[in-house]
Amino acid sequence: MARIIFLLIWASWIVFHFVIFTAFYYRDWQTVTVTLVGCVLLIVPFVLIKGGHLRSSGLILVLIMLGTVIFIATVGQGIRDLAIVTLPIILIFAGLSLDRALFRLCFGLTLIATGWLSIGEIYGWIVTKPFNGEESNWFYLVGVTIILLVAALTVELLVTNIRMTLEQKEQEIAHRKQAEEILREKEVQYRNLADSGKALIWVSGKDKLCNYFNIPWLMFTGRTLEQEIGNGWAEGVHPDDFSRCLEIYITAFDKLEAFEMEYRLHHVSGEYRWIQDLGTPNYDSNNEFIGYIGHCFDITERKRMEEQLRFLGTHDILTGIYNRNFFEVELARYERGREYPISMVIADVDGLKIVNDTQGHAVGDKLLVLAANVLRSGLRAGDVLARIGGDEFAALLPATDSETAEQIMFRIRERLVEHNTRCHDLPVQLSIGAATAEKDNLTCLLSLADQRMYVDKSAHKAKLDYRVEKP
């Protein structure tokens, strides 16, 4: 663009010098003066080009040419016709050096100038002063020749500019096609990579709706891409997890933050499996937010192991009831609570050592399991039953007074009799003691219930000794 404007300035100077020479020959001092001013003003766009202001230099060049030609045609002599011929060339100047808005402005000014020269002569506003003498024909001939040469130069510049523009566009199209091809290839590689792993991958747009799921996801759910896109994937989320997942997703999306959540997703097998979902904001090459991308992993086995570890941490492996650790935690919790009165039942399996020594530990373990089942059948749903020792069990009875505790102990003894009636080969004998606390002192409650259990055990032993000694 700078080269084109530079050539147009030199062409304008050549034309102006011819006009000055002709006007000087015919002593048309007004034309000489106006043209000299135009030559001097052409320095302005030249300086602007050096400063890199191409748009301003092009506009000023066209305005200088237009103003100078119209003024010369108005006050000078003999070149009005040449001026009208020159105006289209000025429009080509404008087309080469200006953008669309400024070109329209110069086009309007050129129409006004053409109308002024044409209508002004008709109504006598402009009085033409033709050149006189034999030399006038030569001046006209030279003037037309110069104008045609400038027009040819301008057209050549226009064609060159169009050719360069077309070549540039062709290069841009070729580069765009190449970039699109590379992008398609990378997209294929990305999808192959996404589909070859075990991760379940999803992509969502700025509207929070999912628009892509990889093949492992579709194989996991057993659904098609059309069924999953949008909000279709949410149909597979477990109802108990849906609201929590939706809240986490929307909150993170609105803040453009990464998130992590675990939920159950319907598997093609028909069961719900646990997955871990890691979502991160997704940005394009211009660092503009375009949605989210997520990676999910099946963590069902891990969840099962965690559940098993939690169970083992709070339950007795042999009997399946709570262990001593859990019992002590619950004891402290109830001690701080408000569910008084609280009762406690302590039970001890009689004769376990004898069974272990005579029949083996496997039978002894079975005896403990039977004892736990008997105790559990006599307790209520909200009571806490735990194995707190080798052959010792304890039960916490919240909101239970002493009278109710006695009723529960009676029910346990009834279940014990029922069991021993059914199972003659391995009867269960239990020593039981109970105590009730009206306020927060459950440690003493445990000691008191334990003492009463030993009293019951002594009574059982005395009865057994009496039966042995009786003739």
Q: Give the tens place of pLDDT for each residue, 331-345.
A: 888 888 888 899 999
Those residues with Cβ within 8 angstroms of residue 71's Cβ, 6 or more apart along the chain or in another chain: 34
Residue 416's pLDDT is what? 93
Which among 66, 73, 65 is positioned nearest to 28, based on CA atoms?
Answer: 73
Residue 307's pLDDT is what? 87
Helical spans, DSSP H, in 282-360? 300-314, 324-336, 352-359
Please tell me the CATH code under which domain 197-304 is placed.
3.30.450.20
What average pLDDT score do residues 172-189 get? 77
Half-sphere exposure of 197 (CA within 13 A, CB side): 14
Between CA 430 and CA 242 the distance in angstroms is 49
What average pLDDT score do residues 5-13 get? 71
128-165 per-position pLDDT tens digit: 555 555 544 555 556 556 665 665 666 666 666 666 77
Delimit the CATH 3.30.450.20 region(s) of the chain. 197-304
pLDDT value at 280 more than 50: yes
DSSP 230-251: BTGGGGGB-HHHHHHHHHHHHH
pLDDT value at 366 more than 70: yes
Mean pLDDT of the chain: 81
Q: How confident is the model at residue 466 (pLDDT cuts 50, 70, 90)?
A: very low
Q: How confident is the model at residue 265 (pLDDT cuts 50, 70, 90)?
A: very high
DSSP 284: -
Residue 470's pLDDT is what? 46
Superfamily, domain 315-469: Reverse transcriptase/Diguanylate cyclase domain (3.30.70.270)
pLDDT value at 75 more than 60: yes
Please report which helix (H) or strand (E) contains residue 395, including its range.
strand 392-397
Query: CA of 252: how far to CAs of 247, 278, 412, 459, in Å?
Result: 8, 11, 54, 67
DSSP 59-75: HHHHHHHHHHHHHHHHH
Q: How confident is the model at residue 471 (pLDDT cuts 50, 70, 90)?
A: very low
Delimit the CATH 3.30.70.270 region(s) of the chain. 315-469
Count the Cβ atoms, other than its own, within 10 Å of residue 72: 25
Which among 106, 104, 2, 105 is positioned nearest to 53, based on CA atoms?
Answer: 2
Residue 469's pLDDT is what? 45
Sheet holding 384-387, edge to edge: 384-387, 392-397, 342-349, 430-437
User: The whole model's pTM is what?
Assistant: 0.51
Torsions phi, psi of 205, nearest 5? -95, -175
